[in-house]
Amino acid sequence: MTQVETIALQRALVLLNSINVQYAIIDSDGKKYGTLELATPKARQRAESEFPVGELRTYIRPFVENLEIGGMVDLPASKFKIEKVQSGVGSWFNQKNGKGSAITSINRDKNVVEVLRVF
């Protein structure tokens, strides 16, 4: 910490102590000031995937990669949850052609995701 930063910090500490508040300050050197205890951030845990990474995308790709504008395809859910297939198709089109480039709908009677490429 620079000398001017140290002076500013000392002034802030005097002010905070004079008004009897709880505080916690960590300076740029990692030194902690004050009596307030800081909560440690919890590590974010990712839910365990049902299938290996990329398996759904690999399944979807042959159905949609050569789909022309105005083209339609029925994509069977196969071993995947139909909602995951719909989400995967939307994600694939958003990445390849842009947001809104395809319209999808779940047809539960046929257990397929209907896909229409718009642009």
- pLDDT, one tens digit for every residue, the chain (119 residues): 899 999 999 999 999 999 999 999 999 999 999 999 988 888 888 888 899 999 999 999 999 999 999 999 999 999 999 999 999 999 999 999 999 999 999 999 999 999 999 99
Give the pLDDT confidence score for residue 43 in this predicted structure.
Answer: 87
CA distances 91 to 56, 83, 104, 118, Å, are 11, 12, 11, 15
Q: What is the pLDDT of residue 42?
A: 86
Lookup: tokens for 89: 């198709």
pTM: 0.63
